[in-house]
Amino acid sequence: MCGIVGYIGKRQAAPVLLDGLRRLEYRGYDSSGMSVIGGIISMNFAQCGKLPNEIGDNLKMETVKATGKVAMLEAKIGNMNISSTIGIAHTRWATHGKPCDENSHPHTDCTGNISVVHNGIIENYQELKKQLIKKGHKFSSETDSEVVAHLIEEFSKKHDFRSAVLNSLKLIRGTYGLAILNRDYPDQMIVARLGSPLILGVGKDEFVVASDASAIVQYMKKVVYLEDGEVAIITSDGYDVVNIKNKQIEKKINLLDWDIEQAQKNGFLHFMLKEAFEQPESVKNAMRGRFSKTHGLARLGGLRYVEKKLKNINRIIIVSCGTSYYAGLIGEYLIEEYAGISVEVEYASEFRYRKPILDKRTAVIAISQSGETADTLAAIREAKLKGALTLGIINTVGSTIARETDAGVYNHAGPEMGVASTKAFTSQLTILTLLAVFLGRQRDMSLVTGQRIIKELEKIPAQIETILKQNREIKKIATKYKS
Ligand code: GLU
């Protein structure tokens, strides 16, 4: 699943969208693209301050795509002579069809009036495509995603934009984050989410939609997290969130707790290096205010309401993926050794499909940096269904797993852009250590042992600093052995 950005407001959309795509580049992708609705102007739009409403209603949907880096897309967009304040953009990680211009998003319908970007997989696309071809639709890509544009086109024959989208979603099986434009509704963008994250940034008379908060934070701090099954209809004046049956949903506005500096490289060569150097601070943040040295206790505010339940559990299953899985393995040693509770660590992708034996005395802990890892989320939902207590160790405040678990502890590591985890991993270990003390002290752990572990834990940020000071030597060794 890759990146989505959408903009509607008073600014030129294309620069905002390009900027958003660049901020999503760290996730990796193979191609990118953008659609805007606007008026043709004689000058290059980037040099032109004119907005579409000043140009009249000669509106047009313009779509540009490029294989490779966002810079390639940017070069193509430079030649576009359109002024627009509404648009959608995408970085693709191909699942259906090779990476090439035709398969890049956005995908349009037969008329070119409807444009769609999609993250995820439409599982029944072959079936839908066959039906649509029978009805005369012409497809121009190998992707699963293109069916969405044609489905909406088909329903638009009898319905308005909103109903056409809702009716289409009812037929789709699979996962999606979607952003959709329709040339006949030039002041509307519709977005929908099922199993693929989408966040709506709320500004003054402008909105940015993105699959990741790092594309929003430089424009606005207020956000609405869309849940699975929710659809937002956005205009430059406001937004409506409904479910697939068009029933209104009240949404809370949240504040992003990141700032733009945190999401930039600050002079480091790349994000991973910057984040490795942030570890003394991020490990400190993971433990700040979370222990009492005198009483040898861990104080985890996020577990306050489940403290009694935690006293009664006799088994823990940690579900996670990738680097978080390795953190889980260390957590297993810590919790078994210090709290005497039996722990199993499982790949979330296995756990979600098998038949786990769970009961009220089992706690299932999800570890995830983003809080959006699809398999980990599915594992947590499965565990909940079976009556287990679910907990999260999550870095991204307000993310789906953080919201869906019964309780949890945030890492407070700040955004981690590097795909190879550094600071998120060490902050997970910090929290797992605190959790071992928390659970251990509820059971047989002595005051002295609790005090000793906390005393040692507190020394770790300074020890990390000592190691990082040797970065020149480390670099020499790395260079010598890298191959
Ligand atoms: N399944 C879609 C495709 O292959 C979307 C992939 C993505 O999430 O980037 O085009």
Q: What pLDDT does residue 245 have?
A: 97
Same domain, 234 and 286: no
In 3D space, the residue among 257, 184, 199, 203 whose CA is nearest the CA of residue 230 turns out to be 199
Q: Cα separation of 6 and 206, whole Å?
A: 11
Listed in sequence order, the residues at least 6 apart from 453 whose beta carbon sits closer than 8 Å to its beta carbon are: 296, 338, 433, 436, 437
Asked if residue 106 has a cis previous peptide bond (ω within 30° of 0), the answer is: yes
Give the pLDDT score at 395.
Answer: 92
Cβ neighbour number for residue 192 with a 10 Å cutoff: 27
99 lines ligand 1 (CB under 6 A): no
At 52 the pLDDT is 45
119: CA distance to ligand 1 center in Å?
5
- Residues 238 and 307 occupy one common structural domain: no
Atom of ligand 1 nearest to the CA of 196: 8
- Two structure tokens written together for 75: 């070069």
- Can you give the residue range of the structural domain that contains 159? 3-256
Residue 305: C-alpha distances to residues 130, 309, 322 (Å) = 52, 9, 29
In a domain, 477, yes or no: no
Question: Which two three-digit tokens encode residue 374?
Answer: 């699809």
C-alpha 375 to ligand 1 mean position (Å): 17
| Cα distance between residue 464 and residue 286, in whole Å | 14
CA of 67 to the centre of ligand 1 (A): 14
Overall domain count for the chain: 2
CATH label of the domain that carries residue 300: 3.40.50.10490
Same domain, 321 and 457: yes
Ligand 1 mutation target, pool 32, 88, 93, 107, most atoms within 8 A of CB: 93
Residue nearest to atom 5 of ligand 1 (CA): 119
Which run of H or of E encompasses 366? strand 362-368
Ligand 1 atom with the shortest distance to the CA of 122: 1
pLDDT digits (tens, 9 = 90+) for 174-191: 999 999 999 999 999 999
CB of 426 closer than 6 A to ligand 1? no
pTM of the model: 0.74
Question: Reduced to 3 states, what is the DSSP secondary structure of residue 7?
Answer: strand
Residues 23 and 99 in one domain: yes
Beta bridge partners of 60: 38
In a domain, 476, yes or no: no
Return the ligand 1 atom nearest residue 145 CA: 2
In a domain, 481, yes or no: no
Q: Which of 104, 134, 117, 120 is nearest to 17 (CA)?
A: 117
Answer yes or no: is the C-beta of 31 below 6 A from any ligand 1 atom: no
Residue written as token pair 């991204």: 396
Same-domain check for residues 186 and 103? yes
Low-confidence ranges of the chain (pLDDT < 70): 1, 40-57, 260-263
Asked if 358 and 232 sit in the same domain, the reply is no
The closest-lying atom of ligand 1 relative to the alpha carbon of residue 93 is 9
254 close to ligand 1 (CB < 6 Angstrom): no
- Residue 483 domain-assigned (yes or no): no
| Ligand 1 atom index nearest CA of 104 | 10
C-alpha separations of 256 from 25, 89, 213, 218, 260 in Å: 20, 22, 8, 11, 11
β-bridge pairing 59-67 and 114-119: unpaired
Residue with tokens 């430089």: 218
Last residue of a domain, one of 229, 256, 283: 256
Interatomic CA distance for residues 435 and 328, integer angstroms: 12
Structure tokens at 101: 């211009």
Instruction: Please tell me the predicted confidence (pLDDT) of residue 313.
Output: 97
Q: What per-residue confidence (pLDDT) applies to 447?
A: 98
Residue 43, domain CATH: 3.60.20.10
Domain assignment present for 345: yes
